[in-house]
């Protein structure tokens, strides 16, 4: 499992950017006013009254379909 209720929005934006659109469709914003939102996915799901396990299962299926986290690297030149 890649995503759980303790996954932060920063982790989603950095490692799973393709989840931003599916989350927006559920009314969950990952980025607000150009900055990554603070907090965890579980906190937001609870606040919105959404079923945590259903949403998390759906997101993990999307992650599996996309081959896991985005692989990136940083070059310091």
The CA angle 3-35-11, to the nearest 5 degrees, is 20
Q: How far apart are CA 41 and CA 15, in angstroms?
A: 14
- Cα–Cα distance measured from residue 11 to residue 74, given in angstroms and rounded to the nearest whole number: 16
The reply to whether 59 falls in a domain is: yes
**Is it the case that residue 68 has pLDDT exceeding 80?**
yes
**Structural domain harbouring 16:** 9-65
> What is the predicted pLDDT for the residue at 15?
94
Count of domains observed in the chain: 1
Q: What is the pLDDT of residues 7-63, one digit of tens each?
A: 999 999 999 999 999 999 999 999 888 778 889 999 999 999 999 999 999 999 999
Identify whether 1 is part of a domain.
no
Confidence check: pLDDT of 76 > 80: no
């Amino acid at each position: 499992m890649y995503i759980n209720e303790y996954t932060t929005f920063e982790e989603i934006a950095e490692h799973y950017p393709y989840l931003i659109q599916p989350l927006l469709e559920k009314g969950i914003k990952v980025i607000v006013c150009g900055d990554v939102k603070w907090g965890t996915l579980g906190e937001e799901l609870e606040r919105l009254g959404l079923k945590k396990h259903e949403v998390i299962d759906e997101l993990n299926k999307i992650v599996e379909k996309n081959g896991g986290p985005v692989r990136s690297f940083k070059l310091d030149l």
